[in-house]
């Protein structure tokens, strides 16, 4: 039955991306674009619109899945302002590209959602923090913003209402940590992107020490769709709350799934939250490539950890991957590893990424990520010891905000692939170490360093 449901699902967020000139205001308006914005500005008080989004139980699409409407209500009431809005377009999680597609192919959908979100949160200035590596998204967003100013959708008195808004594009400089919301704010302010200790949360004291909302690009697109189609439509899609978990707000709405790695048809696919990894691979991705079998899959960007081939019935909703020992849904970016991949190589790749991207502020993360990389380097150079696996697990278990040793979640993202890969594929690591270091794998004395490792 699910097969039928999936193949019959009409894309909503991606409905327009294949139209010619889909990034222009003309084409967007032809498809009914900005009608909801005009209606909301004319008929709906801010509070009513904010409560509508809260009632939809929309959860942020950037990775943590925090309820969007709830985040908005954390803004202090009656604050003299200004309130700032930051649209997080620093998408950098390996395997993830859904925001890029939205911004390149349908920037007005994102902007309409952003304007509605600013209206709901009383923000008069919005910054789109866009990663540098997306030049086409930059071009299309900038021309879309220019079109909006010319057409009276931005600036003083949006669409003739009392509400005024300016939107500015702010380009990053190739640093993953700028996707962390307080790192983003620090970077926006012109400093190194060191995440802040929370509290205070950005809603209370964020950009320029003023109340600030940070939302993801796809979240803004969902806001626009909820304004168009209503809460009942949104809640008709996805997974309802788990009755056994009173803290589960459910996983509602459509989701953009990124599928890459060893599949026949990599791409960005839209489906309701809660499809399984194997449905995504087989129904959308045409199966594992070259007729091979899957060995493992990343459920939501590499920081979420690893699923084995036996775990691909994992549901891709906010509580699915956690049931298999993964960190969470993350960005819902699935990366498939076929049976020929060495998990040692996979883990080396993820450790190298996090060692490169750790901002260096917290010692456990700075040292943990770089030592895990040095150990993986040594293992791959044929000098691994079985003891290294326990040391790696020690790093995996002790860095991050969950064990309480770091300021932000980057370290948790670095830890999860280590923990999952070694606990779920320990036999392969042990076999690799014994095979490549037959005389030294039982050594416990301090190892000699390989050559000094530069991370830049």
Partner 1 sequence: MTNQPAKTETPAGQRVLSDAIVAEIKAYFPRYPTLQAVTLPALHVVNAHLRHVPLQAVVEIAELLELAPAQIQDTLSFYGFFKQDAPHGETRAWVCRSVSCALRGGEEIFAYMCQKAGIEPGQTTDDGKLTLEFGECLGACEFAPCMLAGDTLHKNLTEESAGKFLQSPTG
Interface residues with partner 1 (CB under 8 A) are 82, 91-97, 99-100, 131-136, 139, 166, 168, 170-176, 187-193, 208, 258-262, 266-268, 298, 302, 333, 335, 337, 341, 345-346, 349-350, 352-353, 356-357, 359, 456
Query: Which of 26, 192 has the CB closer to partner 1?
Result: 192
Q: Is 27 exposed, middle or buried (0-12, 13-18, 19+ CB in 10 A)?
A: middle
Q: Which residue has the tokens 């057409």?
A: 151
Q: How far is the CB of 56 from partner 1 (least distance, A)?
A: 27
Kindly calculate the radius of gyration of the chain based on its CA atoms and give it in whole angstroms. 23
Query: Which of 163, 194 has the CB closer to partner 1?
Result: 194
Query: Which of 264, 390 has the CB closer to partner 1?
Result: 264
Neighbouring residues of 334: CB distance < 8 A, sequence distance ≥ 6:
95, 257, 258, 259, 260, 261, 277, 280, 281, 297, 298, 299, 300, 316
Query: Which of 5, 136 has the CB closer to partner 1?
Result: 136
Q: How far is the CB of 249 from partner 1 (least distance, A)?
A: 28
Q: How far is the CB of 248 from partner 1 (least distance, A)?
A: 30
End-to-end CA distance of the chain: 50
Is residue 101 within 8 Å of residue 15, measured between CB atoms?
no
Query: Which of 319, 361 has the CB closer to partner 1?
Result: 361
**DSSP secondary structure code for residue 379 in this structure:** I
The length of the chain is 456
Neighbouring residues of 308: CB distance < 8 A, sequence distance ≥ 6:
295, 296, 424, 425
Residue 350 Cα distances to 139, 191, 294, 347, 452, angstroms: 31, 27, 19, 5, 19
Q: How far is the CB of 194 from partner 1 (least distance, A)?
A: 8
Neighbouring residues of 371: CB distance < 8 A, sequence distance ≥ 6:
395
Residue 202 Cα distances to 66, 181, 209, 251, angstroms: 14, 8, 8, 24
Q: Which of 161, 95, 155, 160 is nearest to 125 (CA)?
A: 155
Q: How far is the CB of 266 from partner 1 (least distance, A)?
A: 4
Query: Which of 184, 314 has the CB closer to partner 1?
Result: 184
Is residue 124 within 8 Å of residue 115, measured between CB atoms?
no
Q: How far is the CB of 422 from partner 1 (least distance, A)?
A: 17
Residues pairing with 336 in the sheet? 261, 297
Lookup: tokens for 329: 């849904």
Lookup: tokens for 210: 């003023």
Q: How far is the CB of 251 from partner 1 (least distance, A)?
A: 23
Enumerate the H helices of 133-272 as residue ranges: 135-150, 181-188, 217-235
Query: Which of 88, 92 has the CB closer to partner 1?
Result: 92
Query: Which of 57, 263 has the CB closer to partner 1?
Result: 263
Lookup: tokens for 149: 């100013």
Q: How far is the CB of 449 from partner 1 (least distance, A)?
A: 21
- Cα separation, 414 vs 350, in Å, equals 7
Q: How far is the CB of 113 from partner 1 (least distance, A)?
A: 20
Query: Which of 136, 197 has the CB closer to partner 1?
Result: 136
Q: How far is the CB of 131 from partner 1 (least distance, A)?
A: 7
Is residue 430 within 8 Å of residue 389, measured between CB atoms?
yes
Residue 452's CB: how many other CB atoms inside 10 A?
6
Query: Which of 40, 355 has the CB closer to partner 1?
Result: 355
Query: Which of 248, 283 has the CB closer to partner 1?
Result: 283
Q: How far is the CB of 53 from partner 1 (least distance, A)?
A: 27
- Cα separation, 195 vs 206, in Å, equals 11
């Amino acid at each position: 039955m699910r097969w039928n449901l999936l193949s019959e699902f009409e894309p909503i967020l991606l409905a327009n991306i294949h139209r010619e000139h889909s990034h222009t205001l003309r084409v967007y308006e032809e498809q009914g674009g900005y009608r909801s914005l005009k209606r909301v500005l004319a008929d709906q008080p801010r509070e009513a619109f904010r409560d509508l989004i809260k009632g939809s139980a929309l959860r942020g699409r950037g990775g943590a899945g925090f309820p969007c409407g709830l985040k908005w209500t954390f803004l202090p009431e009656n604050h003299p302002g200004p309130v700032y809005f930051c649209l997080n377009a620093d998408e950098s999680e390996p395997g993830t590209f859904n925001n890029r597609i939205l911004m390149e192919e349908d920037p007005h959908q994102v902007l309409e959602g952003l304007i509605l979100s600013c209206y709901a949160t009383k923000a008069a200035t919005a910054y789109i923090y866009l990663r540098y590596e997306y030049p086409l998204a930059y071009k299309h967003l900038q021309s879309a913003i220019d079109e909006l100013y010319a057409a009276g959708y931005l600036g003083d008195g949006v669409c003739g209402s009392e509400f005024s808004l300016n939107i500015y594009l702010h380009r990053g400089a190739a640093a993953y940590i700028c996707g962390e919301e307080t790192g983003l704010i620090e970077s926006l302010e012109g400093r190194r992107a060191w995440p802040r200790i929370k509290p205070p949360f950005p809603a209370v004291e964020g950009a320029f020490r003023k109340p600030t909302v940070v939302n993801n690009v796809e979240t803004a697109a969902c806001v626009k769709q909820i304004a168009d189609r209503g809460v009942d439509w949104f809640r008709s899609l996805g997974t309802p709350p788990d009755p056994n978990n009173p803290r589960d707000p459910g996983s509602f709405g459509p989701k953009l799934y990124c599928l890459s790695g060893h599949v026949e048809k990599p791409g960005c696919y839209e489906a309701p939250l809660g499809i399984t990894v194997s449905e995504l691979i087989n129904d959308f991705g045409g199966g594992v490539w070259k007729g091979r079998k899957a060995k493992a899959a990343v459920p939501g960007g590499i920081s979420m950890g690893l699923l084995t081939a036996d775990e691909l019935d994992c549901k891709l909703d906010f509580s699915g991957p956690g049931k298999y020992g993964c960190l969470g849904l993350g960005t819902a970016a699935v990366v498939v590893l076929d049976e020929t991949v060495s998990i040692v190589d996979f883990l080396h790749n993820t450790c190298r990424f996090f060692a490169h991207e750790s901002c260096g502020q917290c010692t456990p993360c700075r040292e943990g990520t770089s030592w895990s990389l040095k150990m993986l380097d040594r293992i791959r150079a044929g000098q691994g010891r079985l003891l290294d696996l326990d040391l790696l697990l020690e790093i995996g278990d002790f860095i991050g905000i969950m064990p309480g040793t770091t300021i932000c979640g980057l370290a948790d993202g670095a830890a999860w692939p280590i923990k999952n890969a070694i606990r779920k594929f320990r036999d392969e690591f042990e076999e690799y170490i014994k095979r490549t270091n037959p005389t030294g794998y039982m050594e416990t004395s301090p190892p000699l360093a390989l050559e000094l490792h530069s991370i830049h």
